[in-house]
Amino acid sequence: MDVGPLDRRVSFFRKSVTQDATYGTDIVSWVLLSTVWANVQDILPSRSEGPVQGVIEIARNPTRVRIRWRADIDSSMVMDIWRPAPVRYQIVGGPSEIGQKQYLELMCEKLSS
C-alpha cells in the first residue's frame, strides 16, 4: 500500500495536568510523546470552507497526516508539523487504521490561539 512519501517530521504531544501548589488551579502542559516521519497533505481550499455561523464565516485549513501505525496515538493529543519551523495542530479526526496496522491517518487543523 503506497501512502506517499514519509518526508516530514511530526512531533506528538500528550496533555499533562498538574495543580498549582498555592492556588490549586490546574496547570496544563504538553509533554513530547514521540517524533516520527509522516506524509502531510493539505486539503484543497475549495473543500475547507466552513459553514456560516451568525455573520462570521469560519475558514478552516484541514490537513491529512499519515504515519506508520502506532497504538499510542489518540485524538486528545496535539502535534507539531515541521514546515520548516514547527506549527501546532490539533487532531480533529481519527486516528484511522490503514491496512492491517500498517499506517494511521489523522485529520488535523492548525491550532489557533
pLDDT tens per residue across span 29-70: 999 999 999 999 988 765 445 555 555 545 567 899 999 999
Q: Which domain holds residue 71?
A: 8-110
Name the residue among 71, 68, 64 with its Cα closest to residue 93: 64
What is the DSSP-derived secondary structure letter of residue 43? P
The pLDDT score that the predictor gives to residue 16 is 95
Q: Which residue has the cell 455561523?
A: 53
How many domains does one find in the chain? 1
- State yes or no: pLDDT of 14 exceeds 50: yes
Q: Does residue 1 lie in a domain region?
A: no
Percent of the chain clearing pLDDT 90 (strictly above) = 57
- CATH code of the domain containing 46: 2.40.10.270
| 24 vs 32, more confident | 32
Per-residue confidence at 84, pLDDT binned at 50, 70, 90? confident
Give the H or E element holding residue 35.
Answer: strand 26-42
